[in-house]
Structure 1
């Protein structure tokens, strides 16, 4: 049986829970239209405070997930995984509860709607009440919540988070937030009873309270140890993220709200608090070197919002355009301009695999830029700087995302390896595994395929591999010379299986498999609706083109970009890679992971070695990567 006040009444409403704000919105609008906004002005204030409190949590979450700024000061050096994100999905339930309680108080005592803007006496009185009543009361109740039945049924939810985050501060049971509302209410009720309350006091106290709660749960040390060395007494006045993180790892210590003084008085102060704080706040001594880096790039302006420091919950789902992103487009566009100006590669997310740190960096260039001739040198410079940075750090393998290894751009990474022959970091384009994934997606009954982008790195490798399997490959290319060059690479006895075609109309001669009676197209060049119409009904499109083609044909099926599921022992992964599902990464990303796990010491750049396709595929399966 569920314990009373351990679950939220609107738990099953999902996003419809926000309808519960409806009565407040209706009253506020009615007052504004018909009563000059005077009688129910408190409705506006409650709604504004709720919005501001949510914004405080979101801004702290944004900052704590800006790993390119905060990675050196992380307290717990582990990523936030999907499990924790799902548990904290409804972190804002407490805002609805507190809005209800505030509305009841204002409706019961109408004079609260006529408070002055500011009264300094109320501020002083609230501070005294906070220090003398709220802090010790919270400390005492918090210790009780860590005992037996109360912890199991109420407080364990809050401690289920492996890595404290600003949203963790709000993730608790109704009972805990009812208690917290009393803690918050005491410093505001006191001044009200003596006639010194004000609107500024209510706004200020509530928002500062949330600010400090989020700071403590941010997992990023923001308070310099030099401040405590200059004034040691401050250690007992203001807690730090390091101090609070110890409460989540060693739950019998550090129970205070904001003031460690009460832990000192209660003999629950963790002895490691100040030494650990000094160590972590010394950023130069706290940097982690990743073993593997995936160098990604942004696809377009809207998809640039699919990063953890924008909306963590949105990033934990596969990307697709949504209406709520449209108001954010101007900000994303301005950010794009700033990124162009700064031209610095930044860390987006990280995860741990086999105890080794894997990071994803992003080159500040958007998809359309890769097709601008004048942008080539600038993009290559940024990729080169990222590789050199990884080399200086001691990274073992750096893998290039789709457009970062474009053949016309840098020869699939060959440019950098030739320019810097003494690189310790291994540069990997990952296309060998990409080719393996595509080839293993082809049905056993398929005897003929139609291949576009046939003379690209992947197209060439796929054609040469399939012809060795005695499968006819209709290679679409206008260049006879490039086709013949690839054909000459095939063993003489298999060259007959490579067929040169120059028009999409030739797809009509592509044979269907004898079981499903469908054509198979392997797409390495973007197809317009007019070009897709030459495919026979029921055609299955496999693709390795970025961005992926649009599914215009309802009578055809479309495969996603080549991808693999990471091994089950991945830890700290909480972001989806573009349109991929959870735990799934592009094959070029997975190819770099396999390269690292195998300990291979060669650079995988330039043309794909056809003989290594099966080797890489078997190595991927051996290490627990799975086909999608």
Structure 2
């Protein structure tokens, strides 16, 4: 790579692809589980001699004088230093020992860069929140686009990205190979529901006790927050949850105790409705300026608490709660307002004179084991809390 650059014939794209490829291969070779399926080597046999696998790397350290050439295994083949058990170990590792988790959190990819926030991604990036960008992310965006295309074309089932342990409880994060923008495409809804249904069926067959639907997998427009599957399979042994009850508890706990009035904006979600209902029962006045949402929520609030639910376009308190608050709405908030999100996605911070709370999240227990990423855990804790005391976990 340095010789073409020195001679003046180097390519910027070539350098970026070279660094991205070597970084990917290096991370994959040290991840201790097989990532590439067998069919790739069956369809492209020469690939076997041009890149190494984690099992190939492990034999380098466990066997004497074998598998020297990690960058180009073909040289081990030429000089007869390739270990004879390489193929056998690869196939045995690929099958693996299947563990049955107690809890599964079924989420999906979000942005193109979200791939690097997984455990199999880049470690320094995975240890940071998704909004904490690093300077070299723009250099590896071609790999992110390629992974998106491959996931869209060949992603036929959910895959495991993380396995955690909390005392005696085994937990896993499963990811649907789809991105945020694909959930907004009507033509993709059927295929996405099919992937979710397959994951639920697999979890039920393996004896999983609880499966939580994360992010857009629980959208009302997609599958009615999971009701589509419970109605289709009434004898499911796995318990489907969406974490809305626990998210409501977090939002209520985030609301200041001395609050007398709140403004509910874009409150069409399950969490927003539950939060507004609970606040009315507490004697907190909930003000709305959307007539349709107001009429829907009024039917859910108990008659003894309807007096605390008010429709008004003039009264704007300083405490704002909701799932969608756009830039224009934020600019109409009074100075010193506090924005409390009810969805999994935080608000865009455009006001320096206002306070923005984080999206509903919980503190990781000290007993949690095998924690290697930051972002995946942010949406995972809802499942954990089914087996723990809420007061001990709420941040």
SS in 1 for 2:362: strand
Q: CA deviation at 1:214?
A: 8.6
Residue aligning to 2:35: 69
Q: CA deviation at 1:64?
A: 4.5
Q: CA deviation at 1:547?
A: 3.6
SS in 1 for 2:357: strand
Alignment match of 1:486 (pick from 297, 318, 340):
297
Residue aligning to 1:437: 250
SS in 1 for 2:108: strand
Alignment match of 1:309 (pick from 120, 138, 143):
120
1:469 and 2:282 are equivalent in the alignment: yes
Alignment match of 1:334 (pick from 126, 142, 146):
146
Paired residues for 1:81-480 under 5 Å: 215-216=57-58, 238=66, 281=92, 284=95, 286-320=97-131, 321-343=133-155, 344-479=157-292
**Whose radius of gyration is greater, 1 or 2?**
1
> Partners of 1:282 and 1:541 in 2: how far apart?
49
User: How far does the alpha carbon of each residue in 1:226-280 deviate from its partner, in whole angstroms, 9 at most, with x for none?
Assistant: xxxxxxxxx665489xxxxxxxxxxxxxxxxx999xxxxxxxxxxxxx9xx98x9
Residue aligning to 2:315: 509
1:498 and 2:309 are equivalent in the alignment: yes
> Partners of 1:67 and 1:357 in 2: how far apart?
18
Q: CA deviation at 1:373?
A: 1.9
Q: CA deviation at 1:352?
A: 1.3
> Partners of 2:23 and 2:55 in 1: how far apart?
9
Q: CA deviation at 1:70?
A: 7.9
Alignment match of 1:570 (pick from 368, 371, 377):
368
Higher helix share: 1
> 4+ residue stretches of structure 1 with deviation over 6 A?
28-31, 51-55, 210-214
SS in 2 for 1:309: coil
> Partners of 2:208 and 2:236 in 1: how far apart?
11
Q: CA deviation at 1:393?
A: 1.7
Alignment match of 2:330 (pick from 526, 532, 536):
532
Contact kept? 2:117, 2:126, Cα under 8 Å: yes
SS in 1 for 2:250: helix
Contact kept? 1:430, 1:590, Cα under 8 Å: no
User: How far does the alpha carbon of each residue in 1:514-547 deviate from its partner, in whole angstroms, 9 at most, with x for none?
Assistant: xxxxx1101212x332221110011110002354
Residue aligning to 1:612: none
SS in 2 for 1:552: coil
Alignment match of 1:545 (pick from 339, 343, 348):
343
- What stretches of structure 2 of length at least 5 have no aligned partner? 9-14, 38-49, 69-80
Contact kept? 2:60, 2:66, Cα under 8 Å: no
Using a 3 Å threshold, how does the CA distance of structure 1 residues 533 and 236 change in structure 2: closer, same or farther? Answer: closer
Q: CA deviation at 1:562?
A: 0.6
Q: CA deviation at 1:305?
A: 2.8
Q: CA deviation at 1:360?
A: 0.9
Residue aligning to 1:521: 320
> Partners of 1:484 and 1:57 in 2: how far apart?
55
Contact kept? 1:68, 1:347, Cα under 8 Å: no
Q: CA RMSD in A?
A: 3.7
TM-score with structure 2 setting the length: 0.79
Using a 3 Å threshold, how does the CA distance of structure 1 residues 324 and 422 change in structure 2: closer, same or farther? Answer: same
SS in 1 for 2:211: strand
Residue aligning to 2:390: 620
Contact kept? 1:56, 1:211, Cα under 8 Å: no
Using a 3 Å threshold, how does the CA distance of structure 1 residues 510 and 61 change in structure 2: closer, same or farther? Answer: same
Paired residues for 1:587-606 under 5 Å: 589-595=380-386, 597=387
Q: CA deviation at 1:558?
A: 1.0
> Partners of 1:372 and 1:296 in 2: how far apart?
18
